[in-house]
Amino acid sequence: MCRWLTYSGRPIYLEKLLFEPVNSLIQQSLHARKARVATNGDGFGLGWYGERELPGTYHETLPAWNDRNLKSLSHQLQAPLFFAHVRASTGTATSRANCHPFTHGRWLFMHNGQIGGYDRIRRSLEALIPDDLYHHRQGTTDSELFFYLLFAHGLEQDPARALATTVRAVLAVMAQHGVTDAFRMTASLSDGKRTWAVRFATDPEPPSLYYGCETDGLIIVSEPLDMIADHWNRVPAGHLLTVEGPCQVALSKFEVA
């Protein structure tokens, strides 16, 4: 499973969170502590919002710990809102097109987890992507597919509802095909102004997710960046975080039934 990080607050240099903490995201790419696999070396990606409406992105197939460009970029890039993701493939190829975060228009999306039985239901799920968006799909992951399904379920109007409705649609397809494997996910989504993050699974084993507020802003992470328990709040399974501003976060039930 992958590891990811979202930051929202005062502009900071990306290296402050990607490289400097004792359990930084780059450290997690080598030695994740709360994941099914310790190594997340199947590529990485960054997404950030600057002074323009559309986000910038950077993707690479090298392991995050082995890319000097990433360290240089992180030293120079400063942003008030950014995503970072280190990937552990669940079966699809290691390619730039399969690296998170995914972007369309002003939106950024990244994901950790897996749609149960994806190989069996991929064709049925792809048929649900709106025709005007299908040609934008570049990779083969269930994560990118889920992202484009959000647009079919009202992402532009109500992101929180779109997340729940899309999960319901995926679960319906799984049921139609007799898939009993679990659907597990943590995901983060942003339009550059607000951010949403969700933790959900159809079994008792959702991927880990935490959030914490520091002087500069709010951090949402797959696992804590340090060992100080007071710094981090565990997101309960089946819950949604809505970030309205620096350290302004609401926690609500994620209802899909």
Q: How many domains does the chain have?
A: 1
Alpha carbons within 13 angstroms on the beta-carbon side of residue 148 total 20
Neighbours of 91 (CB within 10 A): 10
Q: Which residue has the tokens 């994941």?
A: 35
> For the chain, where are the alpha helices, taking DSSP H only?
15-18, 25-31, 68-76, 118-126, 131-134, 142-152, 159-176
pLDDT score at 91: 67
More confident residue, 189 or 41: 189
Query: Across the strands, what pairs with 103?
Result: 108
Domain containing residue 51 = 3-253
CATH classification at residue 237: 3.60.20.10
Question: What is the share, in percent, of the chain residues with pLDDT greater than 90?
Answer: 80
Rounded CA gap, 142 and 152, in Å?
A: 15
Please determine, for residue 24, whether its predicted confidence score (pLDDT) is greater than 70: yes
200 in helix, strand or coil?
strand
Interval 160-208: pLDDT, tens: 999 999 999 999 999 999 999 999 999 999 999 999 999 999 999 999 9
pLDDT score at 36: 60
pLDDT score at 33: 65
